[in-house]
Amino acid sequence: MDKVAYYKNSTLKCQFLYNTHEDEELVIKESTLIFKPPNHVPIKLSMDGMWDYSGKDTLNVSRIDIEHRMFKDDGNAYYHIDVYHDGGPGSENIYTDKGFEKGISDLLNLPVMFSEYLQQCGGVANMETV
């Protein structure tokens, strides 16, 4: 279902796309919420990531995919989050940047953190929250 709504108390008008599917082997239920602001949202980096990122100090976020996953084996759930930005090749090295984590956390009103380094790629930050 496509909806256009205001996100939180923000003046950002965003499009939300919501999908649900079940995976017989691993996941009981997975839902995806896609946050697409009409304009890119600038996120200021602290430039304190562990991999010495040397690109621009502000990345513009164009889309955030939030997947809620619940596992069959133990019932634990978490949110898998992909943040699409204009960092391009090499921007996977923003990994652990506290400014980026805070900016996305504030934007979503959720405490998020980077997932494993090997899941990062240029232009997409892979994050999670519980």
Global confidence as pTM: 0.77
Buried/exposed 4-13: b ≥16 CB within 10 Å, e otherwise? eeebeeeeee
Mean pLDDT of 5-25: 43
Task: Give the closest residue to 8 by CA, choosing from 30, 41, 54.
Answer: 41
Tokens found for residue 51: 């991999």
> Is 70 exceeded by the pLDDT of residue 88?
yes
Instruction: Encode pLDDT of 103-120 as tens digits.
Output: 999 988 889 999 988 888
H-helix or E-strand containing 107? helix 98-108
Output 104 or 38, whichever has higher pLDDT: 104
Q: Specify the pLDDT at position 22.
A: 56
Q: Is the pLDDT of residue 19 over 60?
A: no
User: Taking a C-beta distance cutoff of 8 angstroms, is the pair 64, 124 a contact?
Assistant: no
Neighbours of 112 (CB within 10 A): 24
* pLDDT for 71: 75
- 44's tokens: 């200021």
